[in-house]
Amino acid sequence: MAKKILSFVLATVLLMSCIPLTFSASAKGKGETVPLVVVSGFATVPLYLHADTPEAEQVFAPSSKRIAKHVSALLLPLMRFSVTNDWDRLADEANPHLAAIFEQSLCDENGNSVLDVGVRTFPESADHYMDFFTQDERDEHGFVHAAVDKLGEGNVFFFSYDWRLDPMDHADALNKFIRNVKKQTGKDKIVLAACSMGGAITLAYLSKYGASDLKTLIMDNTAFQGISVVGRMFCQDYDTDTDTIIDYSFQFGSMAPWIKNTLTKYLKRSCLTERLGDFLIKMSAHNGKRIAEEVMYPVFGKMPGFWVFVPDKDYETAKSYVLDKEKNEELIRKIDRYHYSVQKKAKKILKKAMNEGCNLFILVNYGKYGIPVSTARMNCNDYLIDTSLSSGGAVCASNGQTLPKGYVQKVDCGHDHLSPDGRIDASTCMFPEITWFVRDMGHLDYPYGGDGADFLMWFVCANKQYNVRSDPRYPQFLKYDKLTKKLSPQ
């Protein structure tokens, strides 16, 4: 109650002093470093059994030893299947092994961890943990590394959380973390960069605590509106084809285009690929429902955190497939709270943050194939999240396509929001003036030392609310060259 009264008083004071506050914040920002908090995405930091003890054992991502043990146990059933063609028997023998890969990270019917599992945390500034942040040059690692270079030691922080659990609880932890950063640095505002799933956690935080502690919020390829493939899989929509599997797999390497094209062409024509594709399609038809019910629902369906990935379109249907109204009453209460008071209210929450004086920037990557296991596989994607969702509503052509000939921008706001490559109409976004699109950049990538990292730092150091017309280097639609690490306007 005290907290409610306090936030009401704070909100009133902020509203009444909106203009002078904005002025003093930008004046203060000049020449003074504002600390950055990067909010991690899904599974960037591993989960451990008995974390923070010498016996800590990694449980997610599952260790390669555990995966090898259970995958090798599939060989015999697969060999038997090649003789019998008995799909039920294959499911009987294989599904328990698939589920066992994840058995240490299970949640119970209420959405709480079964075992004593936790995540590594980073309470000091990120420069204390550079061994961790230099493990990869991309994603959150590269972002933090570039930020430490730019802002200096003691000014960059990294928030991690157990992604399986309730995002509304993570919101409380994030609030504590931000208070601690303010105390450690002696600053009254921070810049917050939400990466991928971190966008959902950040919105939960804003819904509870408002944006009075934030100077700037960067939404970096976030899942704040969910991810189609998760919603579709919970609804048992399995579908694939070998061409897309090949295209999806080949987008991760950085080989020369001619080698890639020759190889993909060869693979797409080979009879081995055809047989594998045939097997996968038949398996999803015969065993898809059982894999869902025996592996996916018991493992991921019981994790409240995983439900942030279910888009609104699929949410109620997915619940009816995955959960039991009585047995999972408590879990349903948790996921409904996030879904209906955060995901569905995202635009309102972000608008309110801007009204409180917080700069907002939304970054979206596209031009990649999404995970090829459902009918959503041809959606314009950053290889994980659909562009239409991470952008908060852009109209996007399917992969390999452009918008129809003669397509006219849906909302006429007096600006041109159609991408020069004809693939995106940004006029329908929640915030079309402050949403940037980078083609051919993978989900979160922005590698350390490249133009992408400079682009991120432009937002981190922004002293005012830029829009897509503020700087000719960074218009609404950009393109990225993976081989040269060059980022340029389309």
Nearest to 421 by CA among 485, 366, 484: 366
Show the tokens assigned to 5.
């009264």
Binding to Zn ion in span 192-231, by CB under 5 A: none
Choose, by CB under 5 A, the member of 80, 344, 415, 485 that binds Zn ion. 415
Specify the residue, 266 or 407, whose C-beta has the smaller distance to Zn ion: 407
Minimal distance, residue 414 CB to Zn ion, in Å: 6
- Choices 184-192, 263-271, 272-280, 411-419 (CB under 5 A): range interacting with Zn ion: 411-419
Size of the site for Zn ion (CB under 5 A): 3
Minimal distance, residue 429 CB to Zn ion, in Å: 9
Residue 411 touches Zn ion, criterion: CB under 5 A: no
Task: Find all residues with CB under 8 Å of 264, minimum gap 6, and list them.
Answer: 246, 247, 250
Minimal distance, residue 395 CB to Zn ion, in Å: 14
Specify the residue, 432 or 452, whose C-beta has the smaller distance to Zn ion: 432
> Rounded distance, CA 206 to CA 202, Å?
6
Binding to Zn ion in span 424-443, by CB under 5 A: 432
Cα angle at 214 between 209 and 216, to 5 degrees?
135
Question: Which residues does residue 439 pair with via DSSP β-bridges, in sequence order?
Answer: 366, 479
SS (H, E, C) 356-385: CCCEEEEEEEECECCCCCCHHHHCCECCCC
Collapse the DSSP code of 167 into the 3-class scheme (helix H, G, I; strand E, B; otherwise coil) and give the result: helix
Choose, by CB under 5 A, the member of 413, 416, 471, 486 that binds Zn ion. 413
Specify the residue, 289 or 415, whose C-beta has the smaller distance to Zn ion: 415
Write the DSSP symbol of residue 293. Answer: I
Minimal distance, residue 431 CB to Zn ion, in Å: 10
Minimal distance, residue 465 CB to Zn ion, in Å: 14
Minimal distance, residue 401 CB to Zn ion, in Å: 24
Q: What is the length of the chain? A: 490
Please name the residue that has the structure tokens 């041809």: 378
| DSSP per position, 414-449 | SS--B-TTS-EEGGGSSSGGGEEEEETPPTT---TT
Specify the residue, 234 or 474, whose C-beta has the smaller distance to Zn ion: 474
> Rounded distance, CA 258 to CA 71, Å?
34
- Choices 65-73, 136-144, 238-246, 415-423 (CB under 5 A): range interacting with Zn ion: 415-423
Binding to Zn ion in span 269-308, by CB under 5 A: none
User: Do 266 and 259 meet the contact criterion of CB atoms below 8 Å apart?
Assistant: no
Specify the residue, 31 or 414, whose C-beta has the smaller distance to Zn ion: 414
Minimal distance, residue 452 CB to Zn ion, in Å: 25
Specify the residue, 175 or 490, whose C-beta has the smaller distance to Zn ion: 490
Specify the residue, 15 or 413, whose C-beta has the smaller distance to Zn ion: 413
Specify the residue, 62 or 432, whose C-beta has the smaller distance to Zn ion: 432
Minimal distance, residue 468 CB to Zn ion, in Å: 8
User: Do 446 and 452 meet the contact criterion of CB atoms below 8 Å apart?
Assistant: yes
By CB under 5 A, name the binding residues for Zn ion.
413, 415, 432
